[in-house]
Amino acid sequence: MNKFMKGLVAGSIVAVMVTGCTTKGNSQPNASEASGGEASATASSSPASGKKITFVNGDWPQTNDQSLPQFEKWKQAFEAANANIVMETEPYPYDASTFLPKAESGQLPNLFGTFFTEPQKIINAGYAADLTESMKAYGYDQSLNPSMLDLVKKDGKIYGFPTSGYYMGLWLNVNLFKQAGLVDDKGVPKYPQTYDELAQTAQVIKEKTGKAGFFLPTKNGQGGWQFMNIAWSFGAEFEKQVDGKWTAVFNSPEAVAALQYVKDLKWKYKVLTDNNLVDVSDLFRMIGTDQVGMGFGTADWANQPINDYKMSKDDEAMAAVPAGPKGKYSLMGGSLYMFSNNSSPEQIDAGFKWLKYRGYSPDTSADSLKVFEESLANDQKLNRVVGPHSMSLWADPQVVKTQDEIRAKYTNVNMDLWNSYMNNEGVTIRPEEPINSQELYKALDVVIQAVLTKESADPKALLDQAVADFQRDYLDKA
Amino acid sequence: MRIARRIWREIPVWGLVLPSLFLFIVFSWQPLISGLYLSFFKTKGYRAEQYVGIRNYVEVIQNSEFQQTLINTFSYVVWSLTIGFALPIVIAIIVNELVHFKSFFKFSIYFPVIVPGIAAAMMWMFMFEPGDGGLLNMLFGKIGLGPYPWLQDPGWSIPLIVVTMTWKSFGGSVILYLASLQGVNRELYEAAALDGAGVAQRVRNVTIPQISSIIGIMFILQIIGVFQVMYEPLTMTEGGPSNSSMSLMLQSYFYAFRYFDAGKSMAIGSMTFMILLVLTFVYFRVNRRSD
Q: Do A125 and B130 touch (CB under 8 A)?
A: no
Question: What residues does A334 pair with on adjacent strands?
Answer: A165
Q: Is the pLDDT of residue A24 over 50?
A: no
Interface of A with B in 126-145 (CB under 8 A): 126-127
d(CA A446, CA B238): 11
Give residue A465's pLDDT band: very low, low, confident or very high (50, 70, 90).
Answer: very high
Average pLDDT over residues B141-167: 93
Cα–Cα distance for residue pair B283/B279, rounded to 1 Å: 6
Helix (H, G, I), strand (E, B) or coil at A242: strand
Q: Between B45, B133, B154, which is nearest A103 by CB?
A: B45
The per-residue b/e assignment along B19-44, b for 16 or more CB within 10 angstroms, e otherwise, is eeeeeeeeeeeeeeeebeebbbbbbb
Cβ of residue A10 closer than 8 Å to a chain B Cβ:
yes
DSSP annotation of B205 reads: I
Backbone angles phi, psi at A58, to 5 degrees: -85, -10
**In whole angstroms, how far apart are CA A363 and each of A351, A355, A403, B284?**
17, 12, 10, 74
How close A444 gets to chain B, by Cα (Å)?
9
Which of A442, A453, A473 is opposite residue B153, by nearest beta carbon? A453
Q: Which residues of B touch A275 (CB under 8 A)?
A: 129-131, 152
Nearest CA in chain B to A462: B242
- DSSP annotation string for A115-154: ETTSHHHHHHTT-B---HHHHHHTTHHHHB-HHHHHTTEE
Whether the Cβ atoms of residue B38 and residue B52 lie closer than 8 Å to each other = no
Q: Report the 10 Å Cβ neighbour count for A139.
A: 12
Rounded to two decimals, what is the model's pTM? 0.85
Q: Do A13 and B16 touch (CB under 8 A)?
A: no
Alpha carbons A122 and B44: distance in angstroms, whole number: 10
Give A342's strand partners.
none
HEC string for A378-437: HHHHCCCCCCCCCECCECCHHHHHHHHHHHHHHCCCCHHHCHHHHHCCCEEEECCCCCCH
Interchain CB distance below 8 Å, B258 and A96: yes
Q: Is the dihedral of CA B97, B98, B102, B108 positive or negative?
A: negative
Whole-number Å distance between alpha carbons of A204 and A190: 12
Amino acid at position A413, single letter: V
Q: CA-CA-CA-CA torsion for A8, A10, A13, A14, nearest 10 degrees?
A: -110
What single letter denotes the amino acid at residue A332? M
Q: Which of A95, A449, A473, A475 to mutate to test the interface with B (most CBs of B within 10 A)?
A: A449
Are the beta carbons of B70 and B248 closer than 8 angstroms?
yes
Considering only residues 163 to 192 of chain B, which have any Cβ-Cβ distance to chain A shorter than 8 Å? none
Query: Quick one: fold of A38-167+334-381?
Result: D-Maltodextrin-Binding Protein; domain 2 (3.40.190)
Which helix or strand (DSSP H or E) is residue A5 part of? helix A2-35
Return the pLDDT at B290.
62
At residue A36, does pLDDT exceed 90? Answer: no
Distances, alpha carbon A362 to alpha carbons A394, A398, A444, B200, in Å: 7, 9, 39, 84
Q: Residue range A178-189: average pLDDT? A: 94
**pLDDT category, A6, cuts 50, 70, 90?**
low
Say yes or no: B8 contacts chain A, CB-CB below 8 A.
yes
ipTM of this predicted structure = 0.85
Task: Give the span between the Cα atoms of A147 and A208, in whole angstroms.
Answer: 43
DSSP class of residue A315 equals G
What is the C-alpha separation between B68 and A430, in angstroms, rounded?
Answer: 34
A to B CB pairs, distance under 8 Å: 99
Q: Which residues of A touch B131 (CB under 8 A)?
A: 273-275
Across the interface, whether the CB atoms of A275 and B237 are under 8 A apart is answered no
Cβ contact, residue pair B132, A6, below 8 Å: no
By the CB < 8 Å criterion, does B130 face chain A? yes
H-type alpha helices, A234-384: 253-267, 280-288, 304-309, 345-357, 366-381
CA gap A442, A448 in Å, rounded: 10
A207 CB near a chain B CB, below 8 Å?
Answer: no
For residues B75 and B58, give the distance between their C-alpha atoms in angstroms, rounded to a whole number: 23
How far, in whole angstroms, is CA A68 from its chain's centroid?
Answer: 20
pLDDT at B165: 96
What's the average model confidence in pLDDT over A383-392? Answer: 90
Banded pLDDT at A200 (limits 50, 70, 90): very high
A217 CA: distance to closest CA in chain B (Å): 13
CA dist., res. A367 & res. A358, Å (int): 11
pLDDT digits (tens, 9 = 90+) for B188-229: 888 988 888 888 888 888 899 999 989 988 999 999 999 999
Question: What is the spatial order of strands in the sheet that A169-173 belongs to?
Answer: A212-215, A292-297, A169-173, A316-320
Q: In A93-205, at which residue ranges do the beta strands (DSSP E only) sit? A: 111-115, 153-154, 157-158, 161-167, 169-173
Residue A3 has what pLDDT? 56
CB contact under 8 A, B257 and A469: no
Q: What is the DSSP letter of B241?
A: S
Tell whether B11 is within 8 A of chain A (Cβ).
yes
pLDDT at A386 over 60: yes
* Cβ contact A244:B118 at 8 Å: no
Q: Residue ranges of the domains in chain A?
A: 38-167+334-381, 169-332+420-477
| Sequence-ordered alpha helix ranges (H) in B25-101 | 30-38, 55-62, 66-84, 86-97
Is A246 in contact with A474 (CB distance < 8 Å)? no
Q: Average pLDDT for residues A282-309, to the nearest whole number? A: 94
Residue of A245, A64, A250, A449 whose CA lies nearest to B154: A449
Q: Which CATH number fits domain B66-245: 3.30.420.40, 1.10.3720.10, 1.20.1250.20, 3.30.230.10?
A: 1.10.3720.10
Is the minimum CB–CB distance between B35 and chain A shorter than 8 Å?
no
With left for phi above 0 and alpha for psi between -120 and 50, is residue A424 left, alpha or beta? left
pLDDT at residue A392 is higher than 70? yes
Across the interface, do B152 and A277 touch by the CB < 8 Å criterion? yes
Kindly calculate the radius of gyration of chain B based on its CA atoms and give it in whole angstroms. Answer: 24
Q: Flag if B259 and A438 touch (Cβ within 8 Å).
A: yes
Q: Enumerate residues 266 to 295 of chain A having a beta carbon within 8 A of any beta carbon in chain B.
A: 273-277
Quick one: how far is CA A361 from the chain centroid? Answer: 20
Q: How far apart are CA A399 and CA A364, in angstroms?
A: 6
- When mean pLDDT is compared over A425-434, B157-166, B276-285, the highest value belongs to B157-166
Q: What is the mean pLDDT of residues A267-293?
A: 95
Q: Alpha carbon of A383 to those of A237, A386, A410, B112: distances in Å?
A: 41, 8, 11, 43
Asked if B73 and B227 count as a contact pair (C-beta separation under 8 A), the reply is yes
Compute the distance between CA of residue A463 and CA of residue A472 in angstroms, rounded to an integer.
14
Rounded Cα gap, residues A352 and A161, in angstroms:
9
Identify the band that residue A398 occupies on the pLDDT scale cut at 50, 70 and 90.
Answer: confident
Alpha helices in A180-241 (DSSP H): 195-209, 222-233
Query: What confidence category does residue A279 fall into, taking pLDDT thresholds of 50, 70 and 90?
Result: very high
- The answer to whether the Cβ–Cβ distance between A12 and B133 falls below 8 Å is no
φ, ψ for residue B109, nearest 5 deg: -70, -35
Per-residue pLDDT, averaged over A195-223, amounts to: 96
Residue among B8, B63, B260 minimizing CB distance to A100: B260
B290 or A66, higher pLDDT: A66
Chain B residues closer than 8 Å to A468 by CB = 64
Please indicate if any CB of chain A lies within 8 Å of the CB of B258. yes
Nearest to A203 by CA among A194, A195, A214: A214
Average pLDDT, chain B: 91
Confidence band (pLDDT; 50, 70, 90) for A31?
A: very low
CA distance B93 to B87: 10
B237 contacts A277? CB cut-off 8 A: yes
CA–centroid distance for A387 within its chain: 19
Question: Does any CB of chain B come closer than 8 Å to the CB of residue A9?
Answer: yes
Q: Which residue of A has its CA nearest to B48?
A: A125
Secondary structure class of B117 (helix, strand, coil): helix
Considering only the C-alpha atoms of chain A, give the largest distance between any 2 of them, rounded to a whole number of Å.
Answer: 93
Across the interface, do B131 and A274 touch by the CB < 8 Å criterion? yes
For an interface test with A, give the residue of B230, B238, B261 to mutate (most A CBs within 10 A): B238
d(CA B289, CA A117): 56
Please indicate whether, in this complex, the C-beta atoms of A472 and B154 are within 8 angstroms of each other.
no
Inform me whether the C-beta atom of residue A225 falls under 8 Å from chain B C-beta atoms: no
Residue A43, pLDDT score: 37
User: In this predicted model, what pLDDT tens digit does every residue of A367-378 receive, in sequence order?
Assistant: 778 888 988 999
pLDDT at A2: 54
Q: What pLDDT is recorded for position B291?
A: 60
Fold of A169-332+420-477: D-Maltodextrin-Binding Protein; domain 2 (3.40.190)
- Which helix (H) or strand (E) covers residue A319, if one does? strand A316-320
Rounded distance between C-alpha atoms, residue B246 and residue A351, angstroms: 41
CB contact under 8 A, A100 and B8: no
- At residue B99, what is the residue type? V
| Distance from C-alpha of A448 to C-alpha of A327, rounded to nearest angstrom | 22
pLDDT of residue B129: 92
Distance, in Å, from the CA atom of A116 to the CA atom of A335, rounded to the nearest integer, reads 6
Instruction: Count Cβ neighbours within 10 Å for each residue of A273-283 and write b for 16 or more, e otherwise.
Output: bbbbbbbbebb
Residue A141 pLDDT > 60, yes or no?
A: yes
